[in-house]
């Protein structure tokens, strides 16, 4: 999902850079405020860890292999603000040292992979975990749980939550990436959205599985490393999430909404209204009956949206089953 240079035009680059700069600046301030100085080197080490972890290839069927992307995992391990800083660092180093992702596209990449991925992943992780605490069969009074919340009882909820959150975050980041490419006039939305969303629905399954397994491995060996042991609702963190939420909503509203709210056929009128009709409509889907040049393409967009909704349900059930399967039922309570 690393966008290279030349794929993003001027206006998209400027808008993404501004939104990302605000987001990263806010994350840095937040980290400086809440992270004890003892843990400052951990940010750099976590970034190096993420880079090294991406070198471990997980075999997938048919001789191909995938690797961890990791925004949601780091957010669950270190908290959302630290995750934004860590993933941004990884992206900057990848851009300058390994030419993975462009310089002009850095803002877009930071928005998709560092901000959107980590923040959305963290929010969904928290939401599912709350759901488990309130309604799950594992919901027990805190007093009964050994070591004040760090026990086998929350493991299932955590595994389900992180797997589902990683899937959602991957798919959403891909959709946002498609929106930016379409806004730049590089690929039409009608092609970009189904392609990116479908591919990442499958990639996301792997990402969710790896994230959950890695999280469980860390959690079992060193539960004390995970910041949020008791999962209390700190008002401070809630405010932080609200501000990130506003930023992400703004980004999604700019990049995705103009396309999404207009399909299947109002696209051209919206494009005109926003003043980039000549870019979108003219060179890419040209004059003679543009709507019929690729039959079934509108159908593809609708089908992708439906598949996304169905997919998220299926993935949630899968994540639930995985939690049951990976974490044996606690017997000592």
Partner 1 sequence: MSVHLVNHHHGRPDSTVHRLPAALKLGVALVIIVATVLVPIHWRAWFIGVAVLLVLTAGLSQLPLFFLFRRLLVLSPFVLGVVLVNAFQPTGRDNWLTVAVKSILCLLTVILVSNTTPFSQILRVLKSIRVPALLITTIALMHRYLFVLADEVERMRRARASRTFTRGRRFHWNTLATVVGQLFIRASERAERIYDAMCARGWK
What part of residues 89-148 is at the interface with partner 1 (CB under 8 A)? Answer: 89-90, 92-93, 95-100, 102-104
Q: Are strands 58-59 and 65-66 parallel, antiparallel or unpaired?
A: antiparallel
| Smallest gap from residue 333 Cβ to partner 1 (A) | 25
Does position 202 bind partner 1 by CB under 8 A? Answer: no
Gyration radius of the chain over CA positions: 21
Quick one: which of 141, 147, 222, 235 contacts partner 1 (CB under 8 A)? 222
Does position 238 bind partner 1 by CB under 8 A? Answer: no
| Smallest gap from residue 134 Cβ to partner 1 (A) | 28
DSSP string, 297-311: HHHHHHHHHHHHHHH
Among the listed ranges 146-154, 165-173, 206-214, 303-311, the one in contact with partner 1 (CB under 8 A) is: 206-214
Among the listed ranges 116-124, 149-157, 213-221, 237-245, the one in contact with partner 1 (CB under 8 A) is: 213-221
Q: Which is nearer to partner 1, 32 or 273 (CB)?
A: 32
Q: Which is nearer to partner 1, 60 or 333 (CB)?
A: 60
Residues in Cβ contact with 57 at an 8 Å cutoff, skipping those fewer than 6 apart: 65, 66, 67
| Tokens 């080197």 -> residue | 41
Among the listed ranges 47-55, 120-128, 149-157, 266-274, the one in contact with partner 1 (CB under 8 A) is: 47-55
| Smallest gap from residue 265 Cβ to partner 1 (A) | 19
Among the listed ranges 107-115, 133-141, 212-220, 237-245, the one in contact with partner 1 (CB under 8 A) is: 212-220
Does position 315 bind partner 1 by CB under 8 A? Answer: no
Q: Which is nearer to partner 1, 47 or 176 (CB)?
A: 47
| Residues 34, 40: Cα–Cα separation, whole Å | 11
Does position 51 bind partner 1 by CB under 8 A? Answer: yes
Does position 328 bind partner 1 by CB under 8 A? Answer: no
Q: Does residue 102 come out as left (phi exceeding 0), alpha (psi in the -120 to 50 range) or beta? A: beta
Quick one: tokens of 168?
């959602």
Query: In the range 8-27, which residues lie near partner 1 by CB under 8 A?
Result: 8-10, 13, 24-25
Quick one: which of 143, 221, 230, 313 contacts partner 1 (CB under 8 A)? 221
Among the listed ranges 133-141, 164-172, 220-228, 254-262, the one in contact with partner 1 (CB under 8 A) is: 220-228
Long-range pairs, 90-99, Cβ under 8 A, ≥24: 90/47, 90/50, 90/51, 91/2, 93/47, 93/51, 94/2, 94/51
Among the listed ranges 127-135, 153-161, 282-290, 315-323, the one in contact with partner 1 (CB under 8 A) is: 282-290
| Residues 161, 163: Cα–Cα separation, whole Å | 6
Q: Which of 193, 173, 75, 174 is CA-nearest to residue 116?
A: 173
Buried b (16+ CB within 10 A) or exposed e, 96-133: eeeeebbebbbbbbbbbbbbbbbbbbbbbbbebbeebb
| Residues 92, 110: Cα–Cα separation, whole Å | 9
Quick one: which of 55, 144, 230, 313 contacts partner 1 (CB under 8 A)? 55
| Smallest gap from residue 142 Cβ to partner 1 (A) | 26
Quick one: tokens of 31?
């980290």
| Residues 92, 42: Cα–Cα separation, whole Å | 17
| Smallest gap from residue 41 Cβ to partner 1 (A) | 4
């Amino acid at each position: 999902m690393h966008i290279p240079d030349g794929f993003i035009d001027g206006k998209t680059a400027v808008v993404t850079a501004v939104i990302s700069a605000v987001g990263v600046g806010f994350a840095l301030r937040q980290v400086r405020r809440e992270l004890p100085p003892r843990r400052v080197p951990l940010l750099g080490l976590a970034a190096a860890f993420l880079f090294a972890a991406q070198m471990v290839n997980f075999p997938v069927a048919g001789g191909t292999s995938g690797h961890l992307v990791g925004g949601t995992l780091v957010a669950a391990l270190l908290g959302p603000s630290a995750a934004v800083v860590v993933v941004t660092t990884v992206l900057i180093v990848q851009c300058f040292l390994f030419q993975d992702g462009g310089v002009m596209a850095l803002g877009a990449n930071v928005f998709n992979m560092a901000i959107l991925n980590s923040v959305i992943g963290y929010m969904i992780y928290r939401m599912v975990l709350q759901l488990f605490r309130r309604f799950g069969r594992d919901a027990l009074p805190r007093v009964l749980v050994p070591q004040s919340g760090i026990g086998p009882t929350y493991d299932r909820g955590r595994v389900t939550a992180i797997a589902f959150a990683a899937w959602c975050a991957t798919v959403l980041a891909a959709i946002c990436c498609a929106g930016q490419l379409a806004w730049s006039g590089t690929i039409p939305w009608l092609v970009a959205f189904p392609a990116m969303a479908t591919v990442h629905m499958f990639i996301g399954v792997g990402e969710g599985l790896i994230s959950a397994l890695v999280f469980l491995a860390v959690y079992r060996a060193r539960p004390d490393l995970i910041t949020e042991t008791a999962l209390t609702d700190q008002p401070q963190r809630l405010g932080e999430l609200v501000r990130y939420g506003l930023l992400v909503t703004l980004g999604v509203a700019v990049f995705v909404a103009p396309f999404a709210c207009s399909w299947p056929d109002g696209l051209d009128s919206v494009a005109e209204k926003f003043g980039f009709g000549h870019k979108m409509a003219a060179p890419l889907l040209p004059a003679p009956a543009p709507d019929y040049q690729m039959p079934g393409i509108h159908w593809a967009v609708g089908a992708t949206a439906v598949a996304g909704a169905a997919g998220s349900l299926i993935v949630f059930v899968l994540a639930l089953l995985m939690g049951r399967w990976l974490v044996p039922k606690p017997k000592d309570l």
